[in-house]
Amino acid sequence: MKRLYYGLGKRKFAEWILLAVFVLFFYGPLFNMLTLSFAGKYEYPDVIPQTYGLKWWDYILSKGQMLESITTSLLLAVVVTVISLLICLPAAYAIARYQFKGRSFVRLSFLLTNAFPKMGIYTAMAVIFYKLNLIGTFTGVVLVHVVNTMMFMVWIPSGAFRTVHIQQEESARDAGASALQVFFKITMPMAWPGIVVASLYTFLGSMEEAQGSLLIGLPNIHTMPSELYGIIMSFPDTAGAVFAVILLIPSVLLLIVFRKYLSAEALSSGFKM
Amino acid sequence: MKQKRQKTWTPYAMVLPAFAVMMLVVVLPIINTILQSFKTADGTFTMANYQYFFTSKEAFQSLIFTAIEAFSTMILAIIFSFLLALYLRFSKSKISKLIGRLYLLPRFIPGIVAVYAVMNIIKDSGFINRFLQLFGIVYKPGLLYDIKGIILCNLWFNIPFSAMLLSAALSAVADSYVESARDAGCSYWKIFQKIIWPLVYKDVIVAATFILMGQIGAFTIPYLTGPNNPKMLGILLYQQVNTYLDYQKAAALSVLMFLLCLGGAVVYIKSNMKEEVWEKGR
């Protein structure tokens, strides 16, 4: 330790300590979980499993209801993202481009689901959804997920549309392009990074949403996070680890694929009006 | 004339679908909740639902517990994330670049997965306990099913979240500002106070209010890692609905929690509105 300290110099040494603490705190738990998911024999005082294997993967993948929840979750995330794009992008564009009465109010209204206690909003929804026979339906859960991430879907693309100069749109119009052509050929490609980030928020938000799916979706709709609640409570750690790792895969894949769009600036634009 | 007409209703038509969904799926239920909270189960007007929570010892304990948890999480998360963001902004070493790449991931890890992963580390028969046994130390961390467990899990999410907001804000601090201030003989503290803080304090407020508002209605983390008693407000609400099936009381509690959050929302909106005025002047 002493040798390291003098060898690296005070500053470098401190940086390495910081890196170690950072990695241990944020990635240690995930790495531990990944190890557990491939455990064979793992008994109480073992720090790491004694033997490894795919035993628990077979176990989880042989359960019909769990497999079903994986398909449900993925399908849900896709449907939610598409619907969200369809209804939110026009709103985002209007907020970015037009000055109209009530603009700030409309923009602010999307803060609602993120500023107020989720549990309160979900129970409020559950009461109404019950009357409308939306409890336990796919549509009901889609609605919950859509409103959950609307703030990102409106605010981030809206910021992105604002950076596209109106002159660029106008010159395309002058050259004879229709309004829709202008949007898809000029505006959308330029606002693309913002739209990608917003879609990621929506897709991953839908993948991880647990409380709303639990309250609105049960007993018919089982998503992966709502299944995981039960698994954590009543299954061995190793089985839970497998299922948690499966739930992790889409997030990690998407983040790697879209990593060039993910800067702190782009991501935090969703939290500012 | 026709052209102008079209212009005036176009934005409304574009905003309508999203706005309508928000109104029907969120606002309408909330209004219904407010009405329900003043009613008994058979529909007559009453204040009893509110009285219950104002006189209930359990509810009061939950409120205090939630407040302690929320403020501890907020303060710790802001301090650590501020230090992290400053380091990421001003250090140009390889380690800083590496952390800069790694710290965004936790924001996108499904909440319940991360909680589960952290639980396996900190529980009494978890990794810490097992690891220390290698050295013959029998140590039970006592973190799980305790306020410390809730705070720890929340830090796991909120440090990266607020570091993200703050490093975006810190990118507005140009190197040249800091260098010229150094040349003029400013101390690091003065630079922080006079140059960095004015540029980022709004984002500190945004991060702090989002963390606080998130804690008031938090469910997943306290449900899995918190103690049975006292419990956080989100759990108390869940119980009113799921265990006692008392929708009127649940409605009253929701309204009270909305009011708590409203404070945060107002601070957030105010600090954002100022920015807009400033932008207009540009």
Complete DSSP assignment for A118-163: HHHHHHHHHHHHHHTT-TTSHHHHHHHHHHHTHHHHHHHHHHHHHH
Domain that holds residue A92: 56-271
Q: What is the pLDDT of residue B282?
A: 36
Residues 6+ apart with CB under 8 A from A6: none
Q: How far apart are CA A149 and CA A205, in angstroms?
A: 7
Cα B116-B119-B125 angle, rounded to 5 deg = 130
- Those of residues 199-258 in B touching chain A at CB distance below 8 A are 203, 206, 210, 213, 216-217, 219-220, 224, 233-234, 237-238, 241, 247, 250-251, 253-255, 257-258
Domains assigned to chain B: 60-280 (1.10.3720.10)
Q: How far apart are CA A111 and CA A93, in angstroms?
A: 17
Please list, residue by residue across B144-156, b when 16 or more beta carbons sit within 10 angstroms of its beta carbon and e when fewer do: bbebbbbbbbbbb
- Those of residues 100-159 in B touching chain A at CB distance below 8 A are 102-114, 116-121, 125, 127, 130-131, 133-134, 156
Average pLDDT, stretch A224-241?
Answer: 88
**Contact predicate B73/B211, CB 8 Å:** yes
Residues A231 and A102 in one domain: yes
Q: What is the pLDDT of residue B212?
A: 92
Mean pLDDT computed over every residue of chain A? 90
Q: What is the pLDDT of residue B2?
A: 47
Residues A14 and A114 in one domain: no
Cα B38-A135-B217 angle, rounded to 5 deg = 55
> Measured between CA atoms, how close is B184 to chain A, in angstroms?
25
- Write A47-52 long-range contacts (CB < 8 A, 24+): A47/B127, A47/B130, A47/B131, A47/B133, A47/B134, A49/A238
Residues A28 and A101 in one domain: no
**pLDDT tops 50 at residue A143:** yes
Q: How far apart are CA A115 and CA B264, in angstroms?
A: 8
Q: How far apart are CA A155 and CA A272, in angstroms?
A: 8
B13 against A272, higher pLDDT: B13
Nearest to A150 by CA among A173, A121, A176: A121
Nearest to B226 by CA among B235, B213, B239: B235
ipTM, 2 decimals? 0.89
A189 domain-assigned: yes
Residues 6+ apart with CB under 8 A from A73: A206, A207, A223, A224, A225, A247
- Judge whether B91 is closer than 8 Å to chain A, CB to CB: yes
Name which of B117, B216, B264 is nearest A244 (Cβ-Cβ): B117
**Contact predicate A192/A266, CB 8 Å:** no
Residues A179 and A76 in one domain: yes
Closest residue in B to A83 (Cα–Cα): B18
Nearest to B32 by CA among A125, A46, A39, A17: A125
Complete DSSP assignment for A32-68: HHHHHHTBSS--TT-SS-SSB-SHHHHHHHT-HHHHH
- B112/A229 Cβ within 8 A: yes
Beta bridge partners of B45: B39
Residues A190 and A152 in one domain: yes
A252 domain-assigned: yes
Residues A66 and A30 in one domain: no
Q: What is the pLDDT of residues A31-68, one digit of tens each?
A: 999 999 998 888 888 888 888 989 889 988 888 888 89
A130 domain-assigned: yes
> Measured between CA atoms, how close is A4 to chain B, in angstroms?
16
A87 domain-assigned: yes
Q: What is the pLDDT of residues B105-156, one digit of tens each?
A: 888 899 899 999 999 999 888 899 889 988 888 888 888 889 999 999 999 9
| CATH number (domain holding residue A233) | 1.10.3720.10
Residues A147 and A20 in one domain: no
Q: B39: helix, coil or strand?
A: strand
Contacts of A24 in chain B (CB under 8 A): none
Name which of A97, A150, A268 is nearest B165 (Cβ-Cβ): A268
How many separate domains does chain A show? Answer: 2
Residues A111 and A238 in one domain: yes
Name which of B14, B117, B265 is nearest A90 (Cβ-Cβ): B14
Tokens in use for A16?
A: 């390495």
Residues A30 and A148 in one domain: no
Q: How far apart are CA A75 and CA B190, in angstroms?
A: 54
Q: How far apart are CA B248 and CA A175, in angstroms?
A: 61
Q: How far apart are CA B171 and CA A266, in angstroms?
A: 12
**Contact predicate A168/A186, CB 8 Å:** yes
Q: How far apart are CA B112 and CA A211, in angstroms?
A: 10
Closest residue in B to A238 (Cα–Cα): B120
Residues A28 and A102 in one domain: no
A200 domain-assigned: yes
Q: How far apart are CA B250 and CA B36, in angstroms?
A: 9
CA distances from A244 to A29, A33, A66 (A): 12, 8, 12
Average pLDDT, stretch A234-262?
Answer: 90
Residues A148 and A239 in one domain: yes
Contacts of B120 in chain A (CB under 8 A): 29, 32-33, 36, 237, 241
A48 domain-assigned: no
Residues A19 and A149 in one domain: no
Show the low-confidence residues of chain B (pLDDT under 70): 1-7, 274-282
Contacts of B112 in chain A (CB under 8 A): 208, 210, 225, 228-229, 232, 244, 247
Q: What is the pLDDT of residue B5?
A: 55
**Residue type, position A209, single letter:** E
Q: How far apart are CA B179 and CA B187, in angstroms?
A: 11
- B102/A26 Cβ within 8 A: yes
Tokens in use for A248?
A: 């992790």
A44 domain-assigned: no
A184 domain-assigned: yes
Contacts of A12 in chain B (CB under 8 A): 93
Q: What is the pLDDT of residue B275?
A: 56
> Measured between CA atoms, how close is B86 to chain A, in angstroms?
13
